[in-house]
């Protein structure tokens, strides 16, 4: 629980009401262990299946590591399953180990023993990580205002779309928008990117991980990321305290 003086609370809540907040993805998006889920997502996008499995199964601080160390030393799924603590029953780790046992350590096949929704969490976590990095850089560069080259979401009534329609901020329409209209893409092959420096940052961040936008389109539907859009800054309504 966070605590503060009445003055601090009033100042913080006034800012929340009048300015809003940066629309970061929260820590729950990245897992609750020392191995962030976005690391696993990155390995999947690179088709590094053994790395992805090891990231989930390797020893970590604050856990019973005997079975984890046993797996890393022996690669014997059967005996590792026998050592698995009771609280790990029905866990992702157990599902992976069962998949490894059934497939005789086929790392890609074993990953498909995890429910699809769980597999997608890893990929979406990677998208969220990149988005958080870029939104920080974008606000540092241009501040809390719409800038030429930004993307803003169009208002389309009575139309169902897989992705919202977006348009670019130009010198002609720049004054028509505020920071609350500005969106950034979650990286994917089916979205537009800003046409100022932030667009280059997406390319650079992906390149650090050995990825390109084109690589986010995969013949394997489970590994193909079309992308999405997310508002950079959000102002809540009806705030009281």
β-pair partners for 233 = 22
Q: What is the pLDDT of residues 46-71, one digit of tens each?
A: 999 999 999 999 998 877 789 999 99
Please state which architecture CATH assigns to domain 30-111. Orthogonal Bundle (1.10)
Q: What is the pLDDT of residues 106-160, one digit of tens each?
A: 999 999 999 999 999 999 999 999 999 999 999 999 999 999 999 999 865 555 5
Q: How far is CA 142 from CA 137, 201, 221, in A?
A: 9, 14, 36
Looking at 35-39, 77-81, 225-229, which range is the least confident one? 35-39
- Rounded Cα distance between 52 and 73, Å, is 17
Please count the other Cβ atoms lying within 10 Å of the Cβ belonging to residue 75. 12
Pairing of strands 166-168, 182-186: unpaired
- Rounded Cα distance between 232 and 132, Å, is 9
Looking at 79-93, 103-117, 157-171, 187-201, which range is the least confident one? 157-171
- pTM (2 decimals)? 0.90
The residue extents of the domains of the chain are 30-111, 128-234
CATH ID of 128-234, from 3.30.2350.20, 3.90.190.20, 3.10.20.740, 3.40.710.10: 3.30.2350.20
Among 73, 111, 70, residue whose Cα is nearest residue 81: 70
The number of angstroms, rounded, from the C-alpha of 59 to the middle of its chain's C-alpha atoms is 23
Pairing of strands 151-153, 21-22: unpaired
Q: Are 239 and 26 in contact (CB under 8 A)?
A: no
Task: Give the confidence band of 3 by pLDDT, cuts at 50, 70, 90.
Answer: confident
């Amino acid at each position: 629980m966070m605590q503060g003086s009445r003055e601090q609370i009033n100042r913080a809540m006034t800012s929340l009401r009048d300015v809003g907040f940066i629309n970061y993805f929260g820590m729950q998006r990245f897992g609750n262990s020392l191995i962030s889920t976005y690391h696993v997502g990155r390995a999947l996008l690179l088709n590094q299946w053994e790395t992805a499995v090891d990231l989930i199964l390797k020893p970590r601080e604050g856990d019973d590591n005997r079975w984890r160390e046993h797996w890393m030393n022996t690669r014997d799924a059967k005996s590792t399953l026998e050592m698995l603590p009771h609280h790990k029953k029905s866990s992702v780790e157990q599902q992976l180990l069962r998949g490894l046992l059934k497939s005789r350590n086929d790392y890609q096949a074993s990953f498909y023993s995890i429910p699809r929704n769980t597999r997608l969490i890893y990929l979406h976590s990677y998208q969220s990580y990149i988005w958080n990095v870029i939104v920080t850089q974008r606000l540092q560069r241009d501040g809390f205002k719409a800038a030429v080259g930004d993307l803003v979401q169009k208002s389309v009534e009575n139309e169902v779309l897989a992705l919202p329609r977006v348009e670019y901020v130009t010198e002609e329409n720049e004054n028509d928008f505020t920071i609350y209209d500005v969106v950034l893409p979650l990286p994917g092959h089916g979205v537009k990117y800003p046409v100022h420096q932030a667009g280059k940052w997406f390319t650079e961040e992906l390149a650090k991980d050995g990825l390109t936008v084109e690589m986010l389109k995969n013949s394997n539907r489970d590994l193909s990321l079309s992308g999405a859009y997310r508002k950079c800054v959000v102002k809540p309504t009806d705030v009281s305290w």
